[in-house]
Structure 1
Amino acid sequence: MREKNWIDFKDKKKRIRKIIVCTICMGLFFGMLSCSQNSHDKEKEKENFDVSLLTQSSDLQLSGEYEAFVRLNIAFLKKAAKMKYREGKGLCYLNMAGVNVSAGNYEKARCFFNKAEKDLEHSDNAYHKATFYDDYSLYYSHLKLNDKALECNNKAFQFLKQAKKSKLAQRLLPRLYVNRGIYYAWKGWMGTSLKCFKKGNTLENSAYTNCMVAQYYLFNHKPDSAGIYIAKADEKMVNQKTTDVESLWVYYTMGYYYNEVDNRDEAEKALKKALEINIKTRHTYSSHIKDVYKALAELYKKKNDGGKAYFYLKKYMEEEGKSDAERFATMNKATEDFILEVKQESDWHKNDLPLFIALSITVLTVSGIYVRKMINRLKQKKNTLKEQTDALKNRVQTKQLEEITDLAKRNDSSFLLKFKELYPEFIKALLEINPDLENSELTFCAMLKLRFSSKEIADYTFVQHRSVQQKKYRIRKRLNIPGETDIYDFFENLTE
């Protein structure tokens, strides 16, 4: 009996042990299932964060809504901090870097790139790194460092191949091809460039990608081939809801095309539309505006409208000057930072000191050579532009001078008004000598400034020669011109 009770006790103990083991196993299983579910939920939350942030940011940037763009990224920065999503913060910084590159603010862009890199360098998400290197390649392209731009573009391709399939990855791939086409074009590798543009266009087939293929053909003076892609871009712009910046590209490319085929009225319409959009979007996308100004200057030069050609050439030179200043400031800062970084890493050990000195000298030498080349190239470019500007200015002044001379000969009442526009300082100087001069006296002085003889003035104003001589005498008294001074030389030298 006692033995049977002992056996029953042992059986119960085994059953209890089995129940405990099963309970623990089930607890572990459900715990793992719960962790897995939580992990999946977190990954899904991060993915939604990325899609929402990047889609909305892109839409606002391409619409030129800078304030809304900044507010959006600040909101997502706070959201990323709450989620403890470091890579999300990095994407916000990357967005800010990208918008500053597009606006030509390269120094600020570089600061945001540095912040983005710290948050994205350890990311397991290959798409994040592909996006980072794509934006960085555009930054280097704006600085005209095309080898560095291609290097970053290659890294972006490598990481995108590793990234899982998604709408974001699908949207990035054609843009990488288009950007690569731009960098190869700047390097003069035209065949490779065209292949990249066509590959990007095959994948995306948008108004923008068709424009890029068209611009390639226009750059290589093949307007017939360009016209095919411009027609496609125009059709997509009309039938689809394109962003402001995409529409800007279409109108600019159309203007470029019409200018090439000598349809100047259509070129003017398209370029004016491009300028209108670019002024609207310049807070987020101003780097293209100088090309629009240049195209307008070339157009009006062809139309023999020297005034407008001169105006837009000046605007182009101003924008180009701003870009050059930003590029140089950024390159100088990058050189200083590199030297500082080497200095900190060396810790000033005796063995490291020669390495530091050698690296510093190398960086300074290479930077100096590059900057010197850039300066020489820019000087040549500015000299050419200055010659063009001066030539246009002279043409404008000659044309205006012909117009006011003709008005004077016809005794037109608008003569003095037009004369003031051409010689504002002359009239100002006369009134400083004698503020009480009447319009009729100012008109007479203007005709003397144009070196009309007394006989010519008499003929054009329908008065006698003697009356003109009397007017000259009165003007001498009113302006205190000495008797020994030639009146024509007085007016010629008045504003010098």
Structure 2
Amino acid sequence: MINLQFLRFRLNKKAIAIFYTLIVTFVVCNLHAQNKESLLADFELAKANKYNKPDTAIYLFKKCSDGFMLLGDTTKVIRCNIEASTLHATKGNYSESYDGYWEALSLSQDMKDSMYTGSAYDGLGVLYGLYYRHQEALANFQKSLNIKKSLIASKQLATTNVVNTYYLMAINYRDQGNYSKAQTYLDSCYITRKEAGNVGSTSYIDAEQGYLLYHNNKLQEAEDLLLDVEQSFLSSNESYLVILYSFMGDIYAKMNKVDKSSEYYLKSLAIAEEFKSHQNFVPDVYKKLGDLYLSINQPKRAYQYLEKSFNTTDSLFGVRNANNRKVLEVKDDFRQKQEMQKEILEQANVTELKQEKRILFLRNTVLTIILISSILISVVTFFYLRHRHRVSEKILKNKQKIKEEKNHEILELKNKELTSSALQLIEKDQLLIEIKNKLSSVKNKDLKELIAKINANSKHDWKEFDTRFTSVNQGFYKSLSEKFPELTQRDHKLCALIKLNFSSKEMSLLLGISIESVHTSRYRLRQKLSLDKGENLTEFIAKI
């Protein structure tokens, strides 16, 4: 009755534990789901605000990236990093943009997500292009293009996904002055979209096409096309007007419509200031205004805008901006752009600005030398320490291996000695049993005492064997008890003899039982150890 009540108590206790576990699991899963829903809502809000409120969008993308990382959703983390990096680039935060794209690239490569790997390469290509590292930019675009074409061929990606990369390559070639190559890639955009059924808007492609028409002196066609797409950006992405109005200012400047050109340049700057977007265009627009006023012989106004161009360029790309210290490897080619600006300013007799540029050049040179020296010292130190660590680790592993091998050999030797000693005890016990059997038929008080001593000696032999076994195989009984607490002391004895590979007959003599009892004990031991029919008991015990 008591056992039955105890069993009921244990069952009730177990049921309660399971019930509480289910409640906790449900609550945790529910919180997890709510957190994910909240992050998805923030992600959609960030996408909705990325054109009109880029700072808010960047904050939300960063928040979502951290949240999805905790949830283990790496794909969402990559998407957040790419979106945030794109916004950082438009705001002139090139260091954050650079880091974000590289983190996205690393994560996407680790999880073998080729689609986002291509997007990360596109972003890095844009950054290299901003620093006039066009070869590196094109190399990244080509990697993206190869990945996307491979995914399209395997039906994992829609054909239109290559349009963005073609578009970026067209811009890169246009920036280099290779307008025929730029037109080729822009044509690829139109052709790919047409093959896919002309889904979506072509505003961005049309805007770039208008600028290529300008470079080919088809000014009226260029003006008409850009005016046509203006309304599209006013309703969908007003911040892009920074670029569009800059293009239109160029067209009117070439038409010698100075007032109209100036108007659109100033509108471009106003949009850039309002949305804090496409900051990389701001220095060029200031420079174009300076050139414009220089062409109509207004050197004072020209100087004002050229100075703003220089200062804005320096704040965006210069070494003094802490945001961009991590991307100094792209400074050399950009310095050539600064030298070109210096020549223009010299022609306008801007003496004060010339002196400032000399100081900047010297400062950049010194900082570059210091940076290169620091990198070289760091690299040498790193490889030296890594080599030392590897050598030390190898020596330690070898010592550990030798020690383990030595310990194993000692254990083997002691177990052999123990086995030999036990076999000698068995032989002695056999002899004593034979003597006892012969003497047991004789009725003599002294002989009976002798037989009792023989029996006591057998028990003493086992204790001596057990003590020696425990000293050699330290922790064996402890491991057995921890893994299989239901084993008895008799089971422990049997395990010890199995470990030393004794036969059933030798076990029966040491344990003082029959061979049949040994077989029965082995069978019961297998059940307690939960061994399958195919598992070898001796091999299992040997591993403990």
Alignment partner, residue 133 of structure 1: 121
Written as runs of structure 1 = structure 2, the 5 A alignment for 1:371-386 is 375=335, 378-386=338-346
Rate the CA distance shift 1:72–1:201 in 2: closer, same or farther, 3 A.
Answer: farther
Shift of 1:372: 6.2
Question: Matches of 1:90 and 1:179 in 2, distance apart?
Answer: 21
Give the deviation of 1:182 after TM superposition: 1.7
Q: Distance in 2 between matches of 1:152 and 1:49?
A: 31
How far residue 193 of structure 1 moved from its aligned partner, in angstroms, is 0.9
- Partner deviation per Cα, 1:444-491 (whole Å, 9 max, x = no partner): xxxxxxxxxxxxxxxxxxxxxxxxxxxxxxxxxxxxxxxxxxxxxxxx
Shift of 1:223: 1.7
2:165 corresponds to which letter in structure 1? L
**Which of these residues, 255, 263, 271, is aligned with residue 277 of structure 1?**
271
Match of 2:347 among 366, 381, 387: 387
| Match 1:199 to one of 185, 188, 195 | 188
Matches within 5 A, 1:119-268: 119-163=107-151, 172-200=161-189, 203=193, 205-234=201-230, 236-237=232-233, 241-268=235-262
d(CA) in 1 for partners of 2:134, 2:41: 30
What letter matches 1:379 in structure 2?
E
Q: Distance in 2 between matches of 1:392 and 1:302?
A: 21
Which moves more between the two structures, 293-302 or 253-262? 293-302
Partner of 1:420: none
Deviations 1:174-207 (A, max 9, x none): 3211111122234443212112123335636533
Contact preservation (8 Å) 2:96, 2:323:
no
CA contact (8 A) 2:132 2:333 kept: no
Deviation at 1:277, TM superposition (A): 0.5
Give 3-state SS (helix, strand or coil) of 1:318's partner. Answer: helix
Query: Displacement of 1:166 after TM fit?
Result: 11
Higher RCO, 1 vs 2 (CA within 8 Å, ≥6 residues apart)? 1
2:94·2:324 contact (CA, 8 Å) conserved in 1?
no
SS of residue matched to 2:129: helix
Aligned to 2:81: 93
How many residues align structurally? 311
Gaps of 5+ in 2: 1-32, 194-199, 354-544
Structure 1 residues 244, 377: CA separation in 2 closer, same or farther (over 3 Å shift)?
closer
CA pair 373-60 structure 1, distance change in 2 beyond 3 A: closer
8 Å CA contact 1:138–1:149 kept in 2: the answer is yes
Paired letter, 2:348: Q
Report the CA distance shift for 1:51/1:263 in structure 2 as closer, same or farther (over 3 A). farther
Separation in structure 2 between the aligned mates of residue 292 and residue 374 of structure 1, nearest angstrom: 17
Q: Distance between the aligned counterparts of 1:179 and 1:50, measured in 2? A: 29
Distance apart, 1:328 and its partner CA: 10
Kindly tell me: are residues 49 and 166 of structure 1, through their superposed partners in 2, closer, same or farther at Cα, counting changes over 3 Å? farther
- Separation (CA, whole Å) in 2 of partners of 1:51 and 1:226: 41
Q: Any idea what the Cα deviations from partners look like across 1:203-226, whole Å, max 9, x if unmatched?
A: 365333222112223234432342
Taking structure 1 as the reference length, what is the TM-score of the superposition? 0.54
Q: Deviations over 1:30-81 (max 9, x none)?
A: xxxxxxxxxxxx9xx99x999994x754553332x23311232134224423
Letter in 1 for 2:212: Y
Using structure 2 for the length normalisation, give the TM-score: 0.49
- Percent identity between the two aligned chains: 16
Task: Work out whether residues 207 and 246 of structure 1, in 8 Å CA contact, stay in contact via their aligned partners in 2.
Answer: no
Question: Unmatched 5+ residue regions in structure 1?
Answer: 1-41, 336-366, 394-496
Q: Equivalent residue for 1:289? A: 282
Partner of 1:73: 61
Q: Work out the CA distance in 1 between the residues paired with 2:244 and 2:352.
A: 29
Aligned equivalents of 1:277, 1:328: Cα separation in 2: 23
Task: Letter of the 1:316 partner, please give it.
Answer: S
With over 3 angstroms needed to count, the CA separation of the structure-2 counterparts of 1:377 and 1:263, relative to structure 1, is closer
What is the rounded CA distance, in whole Å, between the counterparts of 1:178 and 1:144 in structure 2?
17
Match of 2:307 in 1: 314
Flag the 1:286–1:200 CA change in 2: closer, same or farther, 3 A: same
Which amino acid in structure 1 is aligned with residue 253 of structure 2? N
Q: Which has the larger radius of gyration?
A: 2
3-state secondary structure, aligned to 2:163: helix
Q: Say which SS state the counterpart of residue 62 (structure 1) adopts.
A: coil
Rate the CA distance shift 1:182–1:295 in 2: closer, same or farther, 3 A.
same
CA contact (8 A) 1:102 1:286 kept: yes
Mapped contact 2:133–2:333 kept (Cα < 8 A): no
